[in-house]
């Protein structure tokens, strides 16, 4: 038993129903959002702009990955490209952590003068 990459999509009736990626409710193709949970049923490919079903993991047109993992999203938020972290980014992160550490130490050491 191999896991089916197109789980939920039946080849014979591709245009008729759209499976919700979240709750697996079967929606009519005209629906843009799930009737049951309200989540979006389609996702647009970042590479070619083709509209794909959200349950698909890759674009039917160009094969681009449609869903990014949280790790990738976090990296791109840091400005990293293609999942690679440059040395400069590592140094910047360490420096930032050090500065935050210094501030915390400073605040911890600071004690207000006792009231008279
Ligand atoms: Zn749903
Ligand atoms: Zn595409």
Mean pLDDT on 93-108: 95
Q: Which residues contact 79 (CB under 8 A, 6 or more apart)?
A: 89
Over residues 51-88, the pLDDT tens digits come to 999 999 999 999 999 887 777 777 777 765 555 678 88
Q: Which ligand is nearest to the CA of 40?
A: 1
Tell me how far the alpha carbon of residue 115 lies from the centroid of ligand 1, in angstroms. 61
Lowest-pLDDT range, 31-35, 52-56, 107-111?
107-111
Angle at the Cα of 59 from the Cα atoms of 29 and 66, rounded to 5 degrees: 95
Q: Give the global pTM.
A: 0.48
Q: Which residues contact 37 (CB under 8 A, 6 or more apart)?
A: 20, 22, 23, 25
Q: What span, in angstroms and rounded, lies between the C-alpha atoms of 39 and 57?
A: 16
Q: What span, in angstroms and rounded, lies between the C-alpha atoms of 50 and 94?
A: 40
Tell me how far the alpha carbon of residue 109 lies from the centroid of ligand 2, in angstroms. 55
Tell me how far the alpha carbon of residue 51 lies from the centroid of ligand 2, in angstroms. 8
Angle at the Cα of 92 from the Cα atoms of 103 and 104, rounded to 5 degrees: 10
Q: 2 pLDDT band (50/70/90 cuts)? A: low
């Amino acid at each position: 038993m191999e896991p089916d990459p197109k789980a939920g999509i039946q080849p014979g009736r591709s245009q008729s129903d759209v499976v919700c990626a979240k709750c697996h409710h079967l929606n009519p193709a005209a629906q843009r959002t799930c009737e049951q949970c309200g989540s979006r049923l389609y996702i647009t490919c970042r590479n070619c702009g083709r509209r794909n079903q959200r349950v698909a993991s890759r674009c039917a047109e160009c094969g681009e990955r449609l869903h990014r993992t949280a790790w990738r999203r976090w990296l791109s938020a840091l400005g990293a490209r293609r999942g690679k972290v440059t040395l400069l980014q590592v140094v910047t992160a360490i420096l930032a952590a050090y500065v935050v550490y210094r501030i915390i130490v400073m605040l911890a050491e600071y004690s207000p003068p006792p009231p008279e």
